[in-house]
Amino acid sequence: MTDGLSPEALRVHDALRARKELPDAVVAAEAGVPVERVRALLTDLEITGLAVRGEEGWRRA
């Protein structure tokens, strides 16, 4: 499922947890990607079904 992701998007996806929601700033810090870019990538990951936005942040789909 992640084969077509860019290196940045893959790092963001890898920073997500399966069950625990993380704020975008935490995902950015763990992925080493600027938070503004992470927000865009998380939206893309959500559209492709690889991430889910919850009340407390983001997690893997």
Amino acid at site 55: E
Instruction: Report if residue 26 sits inside a domain.
Output: yes
What domain range includes position 17? 1-33
Closest CA to 60 of 33, 8, 49, 6: 49
Q: Is residue 25 part of a domain?
A: yes
For the cut 90, the answer to whether the pLDDT of residue 20 exceeds it is yes
Residue 54 lies in a domain: no
How far is Cα 53 from Cα 47, in angstroms, rounded to an integer?
Answer: 11
Note the pLDDT tens digit of each residue in 42-60: 999 999 999 999 999 999 9
Q: For position 1, what pLDDT does the model report?
A: 76
The pLDDT of residue 23 is: 98
Q: Please state the domain count of the chain.
A: 1
1 domain-assigned: yes
pTM exceeds cut of 0.75: yes
- Determine, yes or no, domain membership for 23: yes
* Tokens linked to 46: 């959500």
Distance of CA 5 to the CA centre of its chain: 12
Cα Dmax for the chain:
28
Spatial neighbors of 49 by CB under 8 A, at least 6 apart, are 61
